[in-house]
Structure 1
Amino acid sequence: MVTPENLPGETGAQREPKFDRDTSTTAVDTAIVLLGAGVTAITHPLLYVKLLIQIGHEPLTPTVGTTMFGRKVLYLPGFFSYAQHIIRVDGKRGLFRGLSPRIMSSAISTMVRSKVKQAIPAEQVENVSNRDDLKTSLRKVVKETSHEMVIQCLSRIATHPFHVISVRCMAQFVGREIKYRGLFSCIANIFKEEGVGGFFAGVVPHVLGEVIFLWCCNLLAHFINTYAVDNNFSQAPAVRSYTKFVMGIAVSVLTYPFMLVADLMAVNNCGLVAGVPPNSPIFKSWLRCWAHLSHEGHLFRGSSFFFRRVPVKVMALTEE
């Protein structure tokens, strides 16, 4: 008996949407990969300068400046001065040292996130429309955040080896080494000298910082939207749409030390001048690194590109 379900034409028609969805998903992923590569290339000089500041490399002498209250202070060079110094030493191409591993990391992150979302789809969450719904949606926020956390952790673990390679390529600027050149030679060097563990140097504080950032950002945005934004306010929907963005900026400042420690541990005791005394102590664990930075007052070193003041201890030594 012929039915609509077993007609050849109908069967083909039922399979076409799935093919279209797969093709569409692949096209979107490709576009995201290309866009991510472009953004990574454009922002790389910023992150390069930031990394050199994080590891404490200050090749330029501070300049005397005054605060808005007229007090004289010593300022360390900002981004543009630092970038010009790199160009003088390595040329304009020098600003893109360590870029290829970062592009690879960005591409792998996009693919991993896409595959994990397909394997572990998020539950459909209904839009909340009033204050009562917002109060009862905490469980939904927890489920969403848990899903995002799994995706973020798997993505970070998959891409961290390329982050380590990129950081070490950039850190070579300090000692003018050529140890890490080329993606495959970098992989071979790390595996030969440190084993598999070398690819995951600093991964714990990096993952921990991202998890704390995710939970704090989402929960704070939820509570603010629930209890601080009144529905009687005409612009309440617009305010709620920007809450998570604002919270992200605020929380990123608080979790910055985790990113700093992760980058320092990626370089620490890896055979580069930047990761051994006198440039840096050798840390047995990331907690020791955190304690050292906290004691020196450097937990937020590299968090700013402009108006960087000389640390108080250094100023005191200079005055003496």
Structure 2
Amino acid sequence: MPSQSLSPLIAGFTGGVVSTTLLLPLDVIKVRLQVNESPASPVGSDQKHGRKRRLGATRVMQGIVKHEGFRGLWVGWTPAVIGSAVSWGGYFFFYESFKKQLSASDVLSSLDNFALACTAGGVMVLMTNPIWLIKIRMQLQMKRASELLNIKPYRNIGDAVATIVREEGPLALYKGVGPALLLTSHGGVQFVVYEYLKKHFRFQRINREETGRATQGITKRLQNTVTYPLQTIKARMQQRSDALEFTADGEVRAVRRDYRGLFSTIKRVFRQEGFVGFFKGCIPNAIRVAPGAAITFVVYEALMDYLD
């Protein structure tokens, strides 16, 4: 058995890999919707009535399968798994380490747990932002269509890093770090609920897991609704300037765009797409995040019981 200090790292790492792999297609669809700049139009509108059709999750999925095959739904799997596994593993590791240092002298309050989780999240954002940036960019590229439109796709993570540093400079790997740091509040709320459940529901493991899974799912869905605009802003800031996107008809077009800062991005999205633009892709995201958090925590608890 591994040492007790490494158990949270291993359990969190495994939970991140499992949940990311199972739910990656929903994440790919969400990202493509988030960065699409077409103005939102009412559901059911069409060109026959003088208005453009709306690009939705179903249309994006159909476009991916049409142009890239079913494997296109898992594009960006490697950086997604690495990023999720490292983030969750490191997140639990730092959180548990910080908690042990403080709880040795005092009983931790909910505010303490929130602060510890946000601190651990901030550390992981600074460590993993380049991975998430590469994941976003690889999820947005389409190798088959790129060849036709003369846009060179990244071959792998190493090629992505080298190309970004060469074309945009090393600091480009940290685009979107501002909204990412603000999003650490997700983990803060999650761990407040998580610690509360562990403290007040000390009964059979299966009941604890079921309660934890349900509560974490509800908490995660509420958090993502409130902070979802930050995720959209981060995706806009991290995307590649020369990219491909789907039209409302499911076809592919080349686009060029450049989002430079947090506030200019907010202004641009609101001016061109309105308030609704900040919530593009929220439906597939809502379907993904609740089971994703639940799967991660269930795997984490199961492995912690085994490793201990």
Q: TM tier, shorter chain? A: 0.5 to 0.7
1:250-295: per-residue Cα shift (whole Å, max 9, x none)?
A: 23212111110001100153x4356xx9846433312111112123
Which runs of 5 or more residues in structure 2 are unaligned? 46-50, 194-209, 246-252, 286-308
**Counterpart residue number, 1:90:** 68
CA distance in 1, matches of 2:22, 2:2: 31
Please say if 1:180 is aligned against 2:151. no
**Counterpart residue number, 1:171:** 140
* 1:76 aligned counterpart, secondary structure: coil
* 2:282 aligned counterpart, secondary structure: coil
Deviation at 1:105, TM superposition (A): 0.7
Please say if 1:294 is aligned against 2:273. no
Q: Are the aligned partners of 1:63 and 1:74 in contact in 2 as well (CA < 8 Å)?
A: no
* 2:135 aligned counterpart, secondary structure: helix
CA distance in 2, matches of 1:117, 1:247: 19
Taking structure 1 as the reference length, what is the TM-score of the superposition?
0.64
Please say if 1:257 is aligned against 2:226. no
Query: Superposed, which structure 2 residues align to 1:1-320 within 5 Å?
Result: 22=3, 26=6, 29-56=9-36, 64=44, 76=54, 78-117=56-95, 119-122=97-100, 123-124=102-103, 140-173=109-142, 176=146, 177-211=151-185, 213-214=186-187, 246-267=218-239, 269=241, 271-273=242-244, 279=255, 281-295=257-271, 296-297=273-274, 298-305=277-284
Q: Are the aligned partners of 2:32 and 2:60 in contact in 1 as well (CA < 8 Å)?
A: no
* 2:178 aligned counterpart, secondary structure: helix
* 1:272 aligned counterpart, secondary structure: strand
CA distance in 1, matches of 2:167, 2:283: 34
1:204-229: per-residue Cα shift (whole Å, max 9, x none)?
A: 11211333x4567788x7xxxxxxxx
Q: Percent identity?
A: 18
Q: Are the aligned partners of 1:78 and 1:305 in contact in 2 as well (CA < 8 Å)?
A: no
CA distance in 2, matches of 1:31, 1:216: 20
Q: Which has the higher contact order (CA 8 A, sep 6+)?
A: 2
Amino acid at match of 2:73: L
Give the structure with higher Rg (CA): 1
* 2:263 aligned counterpart, secondary structure: helix
Count of aligned residue pairs for this structure pair: 247
CA distance in 1, matches of 2:240, 2:68: 24
